[in-house]
Amino acid sequence: MVAHLPPMVPDVVQIDYPDWVREAIAWDAVYRTDEERMRLAIAVSRENVERDTGGPFGAAIFESDSGRLVAVGMNSVVRLNNCTLHGEMVAFMMAQVRLRSFTLNAPHLPAHELVTSCEPCAMCLGATLWSGVRRVVFGAGREDASRLRFDEGPVFPESYRYLEARGITIVRKVLREEAVAVLERYRAKNGMIYNG
């Protein structure tokens, strides 16, 4: 027999940032180039590992033209007991709550983009399509994550073609070595591999 289920209340999922986010992020800086934006995403991934708040993945949402930072996201799966909270997903959610819009492609908004320290998994690539970002920049690749036994799920070359056909630009392997260094640091710390 299985144990009785815990009570249903509270039926609320609350997603917040770890404490270090307020101090570690230059919220008011302008991030002009892909490299500057990627450096921030990688810094988020690194802090998440060093502070023991999650897996080695960081992401950020920027206004494409102005370079303004809208939101960051860090892997929060274990910290918040929620398999959906990859870095990209946290970044999308935080950006949309901040802008009070379920799409970052709303008519009153400037173009937005996702910058992520590692190639998105199948879930995050799907969410990218729904998020309204017009551009995706990633650092480490699928094969780098796989070396740590992080599964990326069913992503195929035609998955990217599907996004590109809907006007989303994909930019690959910006500052890849710096992003991979954080993956390696997580492995050296014996970080948890939390596939379902």
Binding site for its own copies (CB under 8 A): 2, 5-6, 8, 11-17, 21, 27, 63, 65-66, 68, 70, 77-78, 80-84, 89, 92-94, 96-105, 110, 121-127, 129-133, 151, 153-154, 156, 158-159, 162-163, 194-196
Between helices 34-50 and 87-99, what is the axis angle to 10°? 110
The gap between the terminal CA atoms of the chain, to the nearest Å, is 23
In the complex, the smallest distance separating the C-beta of residue 178 from its own copies, rounded to whole angstroms, is 26
CB of 77 to its own copies, least distance (A): 5
Rg (C-alpha) for the chain, rounded Å, is 16
What angle do the packed helices 157-165 and 122-131 form, to 10 degrees? 0
By C-beta, is 120 or 139 nearer to its own copies? 120
Rounded distance, CA 158 to CA 163, Å?
9
CB of 103 to its own copies, least distance (A): 5
Smallest Cα–Cα separation from 25: which of 66, 64, 74, 85?
74
For its own copies, which is the closer residue by CB, 29 or 83? Answer: 83
- Name which of 27 and 184 has its Cβ closer to its own copies: 27
Cα distances (Å, whole numbers) of residue 118 to 24, 37, 165, 180, 183: 20, 13, 22, 8, 9
Both structure tokens of 97: 């709550």
In the bound state with its own copies, the residue whose beta carbon lies nearer, of 43 and 114, is 114
Q: Report, in Å, the least distance between residue 69 CB and its own copies.
A: 9
Smallest gap from residue 177 Cβ to its own copies (A): 27
Nearer to its own copies by C-beta: 95 or 175? Answer: 95
Query: Among residues 43 and 127, whose Cβ is nearest to its own copies?
Result: 127
Sign, CA dihedral 146-151-156-161, equals negative
For 30, list phi and psi in degrees, rounded to 5: -105, 130
